[in-house]
Structure 1
Amino acid sequence: MFRLNNSEEFFLYNPYAEDLILMGILSNKDIANFIFSEIDEKLFYLKPNKIIFQNMRNLYLEKKMITPIALIDLLDSQQILKNIGGKKIIHDLGRLHFPMSTIEANAYISILRDKYIKRSLLKLSLILNQLVYSSEEYNQYNFEELILEFTKTIQLKSISELVEIKNLFSPTLSYLRESRDSNDNNPHVKTGFDKIDFYLHSLEKGSLIIIAGRPSIGKTAFALSLIVNICQQKRKPCIIFFTLEMSKTQIISRLMSLDSNLTNMQLIDLKLHDSSELQLKNLFPSISQAHIYIEDKDSITLEEISEIIQKAKQKHKEVDLVIIDYLQLLGKKQDNRAQEIGYITRTLKNNARQFDVPVIALSQLNRNVEQRANKKPLLADLRESGCLSQQSLIFLNSAQLKLQNIENCINYPYLLLETLYLPKQIIKQTLLKQGYQPGNKHLYHIILKNNYNLRLTANHKILTLYGWKRIDSLNLYDHIAIFCKKIQTTQFIPILVICYSNKETIFDLQVPPFKNFIANNIIIHNSIEQDADIVLFLYREDYYSGLTPCNNSAEIIIAKNRNGMTGNILLQFVPEIAKFT
């Protein structure tokens, strides 16, 4: 152990801060609770300290006292006591008892976090250096992974201290007052549809909005109607439209029709190619005064999207709206498409926050909606749900039977499924709403050190010591939650192996009102959390009935709204110019 002086500067690690954290855990149970909730062993640089912290946390998880004797006994039982320098190291850490406050502990944690960030940046810089001097590695390297790692590192830097709610009253009230009173600097963008603005409180800057529907139902027409509405309400707005399906010319012609209320044929008959600039401004008064950028590159990357938004913001100081048509055309169409779509939506959400702009992503619905009698879309139709192997074991309260194959549940829609009510660590029962076969998918095998195991898709969430994590975000340092029915408690077990399993027929469950259930004694999440702040669905009855529409109405279903109400709104559709009103 290092002596407690700070006479020597350490660039990539600080042994004194590491020692003080370990001493704090031994000295104060309350401080130990705080420290274990804030950090894990990856922040420690010195291997002995990393091992000591891991074993302290194991004692903590087993609800045992963390004392020098208990720690020495645990390390000795694993035959790793010599690896950390022997008993003397532990005795030295426990010799000094001092009253460490939460503020002091947080300061030491900040030092460890900063050092870890520097080590991560150094690692990334070495990778970059290697790529520069190796053409072969440069051509084969997945730069999106590098960007993701860099983003994770930067996000660590942005972690702030906890702020008491009483200190947020004044800024929150100021924000609400500015939202109501300010016109030019309003943090919301009005859609021009009064009822939608009432429900959503307009489009909040920094938010991600998904507008979804089946093909040809009018998603692009709705998005273009939004653009014209915004141009009519605000002087010189800056709007960026990324179209991966239609050409720039097609988008411009539709915007001209919407602004002039003339069909394409009427515009052609006017012979506008010889018109003066003033005549064109009079004919298209809203879009001609706006800063509208249309990018129709069909293979655009997320990095290019970020660069274009950044350039527009630098030029105009503010971007009012970004629209992407459509979500499923982004990316590299990798085999694990659910994982890739998740990465895309998280990146778009980060763009919305970084550039302080509402980002609208148009999205296709999956075909689940076609299989139901009621064709109105649901949130489940939007996402790729996490799914389980058909051999997974779930618990059903039907004559105390345990069905080892989820397929057996499909023909019994009224069985009660056991779920875990986490706050009180008790089993509750809920109706098994739906069990179905989405098809064949790639599965990953997770095996715990107590030999519990489960095979499931990469996008499924699983409960860990640090909260819910997707399977593709787990690492070997994570501890997974299992539920022991005999003693009615949750335990966290280290991971032994995470590996690819195979591709096979899988099953999905929808479990209201709880978000979790137990499979193979492991606590898992029933659905993928969406990155979107708002989800709107477009629905037209005539689309599914095949009948000629009698009133040209379309239903906007507000299925998700983080900061407001959900509900249904009717809009009129003008098919001649593809306009929503």
Structure 2
Amino acid sequence: MNAFPQTQPLANVVQGIAPPHSVEAEQSVLGAVLLSDKPMYQYVVADNLRPEDFYLERHQHVFGAMLDLYRESEPIDVLTVTEHLRARGLLEAAGGQSEIDGLAASVPAVGNLRRYGQIVKEMSLLRRVLTATYEIQASVHNHDALPKEIVERAERTMLEVAHDDSTKDFRDVGAVLEAEIDVWQTLSTEGVQLTGTASGFNDLDEITGGFQPGNLVIVAARPSMGKSALVTNVAENVSLHPDRPRPVALFSLEMSESELAQRFIASNAGIKGDDLRKGRLRDERKWKRVLEAASRYSAAPLFIDDSSDISILEIRAKARRLHQQMLAEYGGLGLIIVDYLQLMRPDGRTDSRVEQVGQMSRGLKILARELEVPVIALSQLSRGVESRTDKRPLLSDLRESGQIEQDADLVVFIYRDEYYYPETTDKPGEAELIISKHRNGSLGDVPLVFQGEFPRFRGMSREQA
């Protein structure tokens, strides 16, 4: 067993005042386990106590020994803990035999044992806040990063403390598989087809199983092909789902919130976008449809940020805050959309556009993993598509960075034949979603109907028409 990090130097951080801790609560927890190993399950599994949660180093060693014995299904008492520490040369660091004996004699009322474990955890949390505060303060004084980077780092650190997940470590593959098998069994028994956030397009969801938590989805196409229309439709379908609406965060770097509002109402009400923009709503039936659509959206968990000059650090910070706000009612965000990738402002000092775009792409992937929420990012394609006879996009057409392809879990291209051949196409109003990369699934094409006057996409099946 390795020695655990010493926490006591923090005692001298603020004019000799010791950081938050409770020696009595720590002694009570350890003493209770020495007398009966039954509380160990509570402390390890429910309270998630770790050796580093104890303030005194000797208590860290004692609880570490208990944890080793617990994992090995060995009995935990004064004798076994003492011998375990002695065998690893840690008995003296743990205070010696007299310390172990003293812990067993210092147990208060048994009915309060759960509370003592909670106190130890709470004091540990406060010390981590204190440590994070001084690390942030040091960064500010040392000017070791850009101001916005320091702010983003501070926010991330505090969220890690709040979630208590910054010490995430290796997991045994057996434990991972055990949890996954339970999920698979539930899906099989209940006949569940979707494991992620449904796009609202049945044929697409059939291939993807929905947009998966932690995945980065790239939707790419040439300008005016319908990228923004597609993701606004997805945002509409997710946030207005009749049975289970999920919160959507939409970062629109290209369109204003007013333009987006027009698109949402036009699509949902079936009113031509041009009629909305020009106020051609004298028809009472049209006006009624507009008001009904507006009423539906007023209750939808759909949130728009139309900052046109925003960096990946700012997007991550804003998404984290909104995710926190949505936890109580919805369990967090259901989807994050960025429209679009190449318009984001670079954070770093690099002059290479390829490196800048790669940094943004990687940042969005990290955000998806961090919040366990699917992130859809729109991307432009290079002009190389135009020079080919077959205009259907390829992965090599992703503009400015191979890093986009590498980071993406799912790459979806939009192709419309009438975009290139408006006079001669035999597929007017038809569109294809081309799934060219799917890290954990199959590839394929999804036919859709494009209604440019709204603009919106619809599925080919009757229930989506």
Normalised to the residue count of structure 1, the TM-score between the two structures is 0.48
Q: Does 1:212 align with 2:220?
A: yes
Q: Does 1:573 align with 2:450?
A: yes
The equivalent position to 1:290 in structure 2, one of 300, 303, 308, is 300
Q: 1:265 to 1:10 in 2, by over 3 A?
A: closer
Q: 1:314 to 1:272 in 2, by over 3 A?
A: farther
Q: Secondary structure at the match of 2:436?
A: strand
Tell me the distance in 1 between the aligned counterparts of 2:416 and 2:4.
72
Q: Secondary structure at the match of 1:161?
A: coil
Deviation, 1:249, is: 0.3
Report if the CA contact (8 A) 2:148-2:313 is conserved: no
Deviation, 1:198, is: 0.6
Q: 1:281 to 1:178 in 2, by over 3 A?
A: farther
Deviation, 1:373, is: 2.6
* Deviation readout 1:384-409 (Å, 9 max, x if unpaired): 467xxxxxxxxxxxxxxxxxxxxxxx
The equivalent position to 1:364 in structure 2, one of 376, 380, 383, is 380
The percentage of counterpart residues that share the same residue type is: 31
The equivalent position to 2:429 in structure 1, one of 552, 556, 560, is 552
Report if the CA contact (8 A) 2:248-2:333 is conserved: yes
Report if the CA contact (8 A) 1:212-1:535 is conserved: yes
Deviation, 1:532, is: 1.1
Q: Secondary structure at the match of 1:262?
A: coil
* Deviation readout 1:138-194 (Å, 9 max, x if unpaired): 8x8475499689989x9x9656235134x333311222345567899x751111111
Tell me the distance in 2 between the aligned counterparts of 1:245 and 1:158.
38
Q: Does 1:354 align with 2:376?
A: no
The equivalent position to 2:254 in structure 1, one of 242, 245, 256, is 245
Q: Please give the residue correspondences for 1:3-402 in structure 2 after superposition, counting only pairs within 5 Å.
A: 128-129=137-138, 131-132=140-141, 141=146, 143-144=148-149, 158=167, 160-165=169-174, 167-178=175-186, 187-230=195-238, 231-267=240-276, 268-270=279-281, 282-284=292-294, 286-317=296-327, 318-332=332-346, 334-382=350-398, 384=400
> Structure 2: which amino acid aligns with 1:331?
R
Q: 1:256 to 1:548 in 2, by over 3 A?
A: farther
Tell me the equivalent position of 1:563. 440
Number of corresponding residues: 323
* Deviation readout 1:478-524 (Å, 9 max, x if unpaired): xxxxxxxxxxxxxxxxxxxxxxxxxxxxxxxxxxxxxxxxxxxxxxx
Tell me the distance in 2 between the aligned counterparts of 1:236 and 1:212.
26
Unaligned 5+ segments in structure 2 are: 10-87, 89-129, 459-465
Deviation, 1:228, is: 2.1
* Deviation readout 1:339-367 (Å, 9 max, x if unpaired): 22222122111211222221100000122
Q: 1:319 to 1:234 in 2, by over 3 A?
A: farther
> Structure 2: which amino acid aligns with 1:339?
E
Tell me the distance in 2 between the aligned counterparts of 1:169 and 1:560.
25
> Structure 2: which amino acid aligns with 1:562?
R
Tell me the distance in 1 between the aligned counterparts of 2:5 and 2:336.
50
Tell me the distance in 1 between the aligned counterparts of 2:225 and 2:414.
7
Deviation, 1:377, is: 1.0
Report if the CA contact (8 A) 1:199-1:566 is conserved: yes
Q: 1:250 to 1:570 in 2, by over 3 A?
A: same
Tell me the distance in 1 between the aligned counterparts of 2:186 and 2:299.
26
Tell me the distance in 2 between the aligned counterparts of 1:343 and 1:376.
27
Q: 1:148 to 1:378 in 2, by over 3 A?
A: farther
Deviation, 1:329, is: 0.6
Tell me the distance in 1 between the aligned counterparts of 2:444 and 2:282.
44
Tell me the distance in 1 between the aligned counterparts of 2:456 and 2:8.
61
Which structure has more helix as a fraction of its residues?
Answer: 2
Q: 1:536 to 1:150 in 2, by over 3 A?
A: same
Q: 1:285 to 1:336 in 2, by over 3 A?
A: same
Deviation, 1:297, is: 0.9
Tell me the equivalent position of 1:450. none
> Structure 1: which amino acid aligns with 2:263?
R
Tell me the distance in 1 between the aligned counterparts of 2:304 and 2:398.
26
Deviation, 1:241, is: 0.9
Tell me the distance in 1 between the aligned counterparts of 2:5 and 2:365.
42
Q: Which has the higher contact order (CA 8 A, sep 6+)?
A: 2
Report if the CA contact (8 A) 1:259-1:287 is conserved: no
Q: 1:549 to 1:574 in 2, by over 3 A?
A: farther
> Structure 1: which amino acid aligns with 2:211?
L
Tell me the equivalent position of 2:121. none
Tell me the distance in 2 between the aligned counterparts of 1:127 and 1:243.
31
Report if the CA contact (8 A) 1:179-1:188 is conserved: no
Deviation, 1:264, is: 3.0
> Structure 2: which amino acid aligns with 1:306?
R
